[in-house]
Amino acid sequence: MAAKLIDNFWRGKKVFITGHTGFKGSWLSLWLLSLGADVTGYALHPPTKPSLFELCGLSKSIHSVIGDVRDEEKLRKVLIQADPDIIFHLAAQPLVNQSYQTPVETYAVNVMGTIHLLEAVKSLAVNTNRIRAVINITSDKCYENKEWNWGYREIDRLGGYDPYSNSKACSELVTCSYRNSFFNPDNYESHGIGLATARAGNVIGGGDFAKDRLIPDCIRSFLIGEKLKIRNPGAVRPWQHVLEPLGGYLMLAEKLYSEGRTYGEAWNFGPFDDDTKSVEWIIKKMIKKWDNDISYDLQQASGLHEAKNLKLDCSKAIEELGWHPRWNIDQAIDKVIEWAIAYRDGQEIKKICLNQISEYI
């Protein structure tokens, strides 16, 4: 059973999410609302138009604050006001290609944004013991990629070739330093906070409208009937439905809340090896499942470095958290297509998302 959550654990819990207006943040907000949590979000305006956040009307369902994690003072004030039990840090500049164009912004958001949040947590912990769990969501790309055919483990070396990947490795190191210095498990009684990081694979799902990402590019081409243009068809990635890692984050948060001394570490949440597929495999599967004929062209690579092979070893989460993937890649693509057709046909998007969450759990 994937994502086996504790009955009624989230009901009434105060949860703070940075990056709640993004793709993953919106899905997480919806899931937490369905579990009865009291959610406060802190993020920039939705990064795309349309956006899942707006399609689901989430601004009416949670306490949504528009703010930048680079604004340390505002972030601190909003966090103090929210006074949460649990924090999920998702705010980020999330695109590899954009990181080549805006490296300073990428590091400022992904590294200094993490520091600003942890500084706010540290200052709040002095005055209240309410915060029990903090999870910094980073990326599978934080590892020093050696193009291995086996998955990276949490103990493998961090690195990151491009500014995005490297900034996520830096965010991991920052979190480790703050855990050792200020939230050390050996002194758990003094602060009561479990601090962890989570590294997911390439997430897919309905409501992702980002540029230069494979699934959103596919859906856009499908909806307007244009020939799909793809680069790096042989690149292999650990594809997974967005609900897979989110379920892992929720399970990890529950453990951190009750046993923060033990679970404050780094965690991988990726698919099984059989679901680690090439870009072209995903394209062909998407086209086969769509209800209209779509063709595609293979484009010349941009010249910017992108990893060719990337896998995650999730043995730790499987053995120590009891988490494991529930939807294989074929099922995950089914859910993406289902969502896209519902969007095309003008169906109620919030209802579609909640139905998929219900089916998943």
Q: Point out which residues pair with 41 in neighbouring strands.
A: 17, 64
Sheet holding 86-89, edge to edge: 63-66, 38-43, 14-18, 86-89, 133-137, 194-200, 266-269
pTM greater than the 0.85 cutoff: yes
Question: Tokens at residue 103, please?
Answer: 């490296």
| DSSP-based three-state secondary structure for 277 | strand
How far is the C-alpha of 343 from the C-alpha of 347, rounded, in Å? 6
Identity of residue 286: M
The beta-strand segments (E) located in 48-188 are: 63-66, 86-89, 133-137
182 contacts 311 by C-beta, under 8 angstroms: no
Helix intervals (H) in 183-309: 188-191, 214-224, 243-263, 279-289
One pLDDT digit (tens) per residue for the chain, 361 residues: 444 899 999 999 999 999 999 999 999 999 999 999 999 999 999 999 999 999 999 999 999 999 999 999 999 999 999 999 999 999 999 988 899 999 999 999 999 999 999 999 998 887 777 899 999 999 999 999 988 888 999 999 999 999 999 999 999 999 999 999 999 999 998 899 999 999 998 899 999 998 878 889 888 888 887 777 777 788 888 899 999 999 999 999 999 999 999 999 999 999 988 888 888 899 888 888 886 667 777 765 555 656 667 889 999 999 999 999 999 999 999 999 999 999 999 999 999 999 999 999 9
The H or E element containing residue 179 is helix 163-182
Q: How far is CA 13 from CA 68, 76, 230, 312, in A?
A: 24, 20, 43, 31
What torsion do the CA atoms of 217, 208, 89, 82 make, to the nearest 10 degrees? 150
Distances (CA, A) of 200 to 15, 101, 190, 203, 298: 21, 24, 31, 7, 27
The H-assigned helical ranges of 214-278 are: 214-224, 243-263
359/92 Cα distance (integer angstroms): 29
Distance CA 352, CA 343 (A): 9
